[in-house]
């Protein structure tokens, strides 16, 4: 399922973390931050999510050789 959300990024600052559910909410926050800190802000829209496929874990037993530097 693709979830659309918006985030606010302020130039020169860390990565955004809060997900706004509406464009209007993100714009309002971007304006507030821009006025408060005197920096450019950007409203970013995400609409596509890529998730990793589940992996099958396989266990393979390995017998150490005499020349290995393993302590076990």
pLDDT in tens, the chain (72 residues): 458 999 999 999 999 999 999 999 999 999 999 999 999 999 999 988 888 888 776 666 555 565 656 555
CB atoms within 10 A of CB 30: 21
Closest by Cα among 54, 53, 70 to 62: 70
Scan for tokens 């971007």, then name that residue. Answer: 30
Query: What is the CB-side half-sphere exposure of residue 67 using CA atoms within 13 A?
Result: 0
Q: Residue 12, SS3?
A: coil
Closest by Cα among 2, 15, 1, 13 to 44: 15
Q: Please give the model's pTM, rounded to 2 decimal places.
A: 0.66
């Amino acid at each position: 399922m693709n979830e659309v959300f918006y985030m606010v990024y302020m130039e020169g600052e860390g990565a955004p973390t809060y997900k706004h559910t509406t464009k209007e909410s993100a714009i309002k926050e971007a304006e507030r931050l821009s006025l408060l800190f005197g920096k450019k802000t950007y409203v970013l829209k995400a609409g596509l999510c890529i998730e990793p496929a589940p992996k099958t874990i396989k266990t393979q037993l390995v017998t150490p050789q005499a020349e290995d530097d393993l302590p076990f």
